[in-house]
Chain A
Amino acid sequence: KNEVEQSPQNLTAQEGEFITINCSYSVGISALHWLQQHPGGGIVSLFMLSSGKKKHGRLIATINIQEKHSSLHITASHPRDSAVYICAVSILTGTASKLTFGTGTRLQVTL
């Protein structure tokens, strides 16, 4: 069993729909990250959370530390949101934090 599980693995939505991607983890963490990767592209960090909720534009991320669960929401989805969304957790090891990645959720938003 992976330490970080995401669902769904694939998601297709129509433009304007509200989207939720879920992430569960099984280890103690210092923070949880939501990352975005476009096909063939590099990774962009969307959020880093250690508690509560963060909002940036149409994106909202929440985390429940007790339940070891986080969600990424996209409001009013747009085709440019089509990408792979990756949940990753930070585990501090001495002088750096190591990321353990989920398998990603491939989102396709159609017109």
Chain B
Amino acid sequence: DAMVIQNPRYQVTQFGKPVTLSCSQTLNHNVMYWYQQKSSQAPKLLFHYYDKDFNNEADTPDNFQSRRPNTSFCFLDIRSPGLGDAAMYLCATSRLVGASGAYEQYFGPGTRLTVT
């Protein structure tokens, strides 16, 4: 089935040790998003790609970087994870739906990051 896949599902890293989270999609969608969701909070958009065009949210810390080498893959790099970066990281993709220009977003299962 076409889907959004995130690896790994669970990641443990040490304080300050760089970590990379992976997202892949078989939907051939132009847009890919990375969200951070902390416990009992709503997801927070970190950045998105439209094709190779990178769009950073104004309040996303510099510690968070992203790469999209091709349509199918997108990576989230956390350069120096702090304890406050422990969260669920969600990848989503979207395509154009309907004349209104509304985009339906398809979410991956998420990667739960623990920082020790």
Are A and B genuine complex partners?
A: yes
Q: Which residues of A contact B (CB under 8 A)?
A: 30-31, 33, 35, 40-45, 48, 50, 86, 90, 92, 94-99, 101-104
Interface of A (DSSP majority class): strand
> Are B31 and A96 in contact, CB atoms less than 8 angstroms apart?
yes
Whether B104 contacts A48 by the Cβ 8 Å rule is: yes
Min CB gap B62→A, angstroms: 21
Number of interface residues of B (CB under 8 A): 29
Contacts between chains A and B (CB distance < 8 A), count: 73
Contact for A42 among B97, B105, B110, CB less than 8 A: B110
Q: Which residues of B contact A50 (CB under 8 A)?
A: 98, 100, 102
Q: How far is the CB of B97 from chain A (nearest CB, A)?
A: 7
Contact A97 B105 (CB under 8 A): yes
- Please list 22 pairs of residues, one from A and one from B, whose beta carbons are closer than 8 Å in the complex, sorted by A's number: A30-B103, A31-B97, A31-B104, A33-B104, A33-B105, A35-B107, A41-B110, A42-B88, A43-B107, A45-B106, A50-B98, A90-B102, A92-B101, A94-B50, A94-B55, A95-B31, A96-B48, A96-B50, A97-B101, A97-B105, A99-B43, A104-B42
